[in-house]
């Protein structure tokens, strides 16, 4: 008699996989805005980076906040420091965009919570969220792009080393 293990393994693994699916969102239903964690909400409202410019950062385009943190080690001139600070301050625009995004996410969540979501409404709100997300990301990417123009090649290399992107 030949016994195959595949049906037995399937019978054992399916409930385990289903249990994992059930717990993936456990406790998230208690969030004010289900699609966003408290950390994400505060990050949007405060205009924090949240990885929006990771493509720039990891490819040698320093961010203004980190440049200012490393100002002494990078040997920034007063003019460079002022420009970096101005770029960091300009990122407050991302905070106002973030507040708008939170508002739209809240409206989307409310439609579902009230059982009133329609295809037309969710399409409109999802597109708004996508546009706001893109605008926020552009603010961060542009800051990195401009920051690279402010620093010297030597400062950029020091930045990469200090941030741990290349071996010291």
What are 40-69's pLDDT values in tens digits? 999 988 888 889 999 999 999 999 999 999
Higher-pLDDT residue of 142, 11: 142
Which residue segment(s) compose the domain that 112 sits in?
37-162
Calpha distance 130→73 (Å, rounded): 38
Mean pLDDT estimate for the chain: 88
Tell me the longest C-alpha to C-alpha distance in the chain. 83
DSSP character for 114?
A: T
Determine, yes or no, domain membership for 20: no
Determine, yes or no, domain membership for 18: no
pLDDT digits (tens, 9 = 90+) for 97-134: 999 999 999 999 999 999 999 999 999 999 999 999 99
Q: What pLDDT score was predicted for residue 15?
A: 56
pTM: 0.80
Determine, yes or no, domain membership for 14: no
Q: Which residues contact 48 (CB under 8 A, 6 or more apart)?
A: 42
Mean of pLDDT values over 138-146: 95
Is pLDDT above 70 for 165? yes
Determine, yes or no, domain membership for 116: yes
Q: What pLDDT score was predicted for residue 47?
A: 86
Q: What pLDDT score was predicted for residue 23?
A: 66
Determine, yes or no, domain membership for 13: no
Please state the separation of Cα 11 from the chain's center in Å: 39
Among left, alpha and beta (phi > 0; psi -120 to 50; other), residue 62 is beta
Calpha distance 145→58 (Å, rounded): 12
Calpha distance 76→68 (Å, rounded): 9
Is pLDDT above 80 for 155? yes
Q: Which of 130, 134, 125 is nearest to 104 (CA)?
A: 125
Least confident of 27-41, 68-82, 110-124, 146-160: 27-41
Determine, yes or no, domain membership for 138: yes
Is pLDDT above 60 for 10? no
Is pLDDT above 70 for 168? no
How many separate domains does the chain show? 1
User: Is residue 135 exposed (0-12), middle (13-18) or buried (19+ Cβ within 10 Å)?
Assistant: middle
Q: What pLDDT score was predicted for residue 128?
A: 98
Determine, yes or no, domain membership for 21: no
Determine, yes or no, domain membership for 5: no
Which segments of 10-157 are extended strands (E)?
none
Residues 150-155: contacts with CB under 8 Å, at least 24 apart: 150/80, 150/83, 150/84, 150/87, 151/62, 151/67, 151/74, 151/80, 155/74, 155/75, 155/76, 155/80
């Amino acid at each position: 008699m030949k016994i195959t293990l595949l049906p037995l393994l399937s019978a054992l693994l399916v409930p385990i996989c289903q249990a994992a699916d059930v717990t993936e969102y456990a406790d998230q239903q208690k969030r004010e805005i289900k699609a966003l964690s408290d950390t994400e909400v505060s990050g949007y409202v405060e205009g924090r980076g949240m990885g929006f410019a990771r493509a720039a950062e990891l490819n040698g385009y320093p961010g203004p906040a980190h440049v200012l943190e490393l100002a002494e080690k990078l040997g920034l001139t007063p003019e460079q420091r002022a420009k970096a600070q101005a770029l960091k301050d300009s990122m407050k625009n991302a905070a106002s965009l973030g507040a708008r995004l939170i508002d739209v996410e809240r409206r989307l969540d409310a439609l579902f919570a009230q059982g009133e979501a329609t295809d037309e409404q969710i399409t409109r709100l999802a597109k708004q969220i996508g546009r706001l997300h893109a605008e926020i990301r552009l603010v961060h990417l542009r800051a990195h792009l401009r920051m690279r123009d402010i620093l010297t090649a030597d400062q950029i290399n020091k930045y990469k080393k200090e941030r741990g992107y290349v071996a010291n």
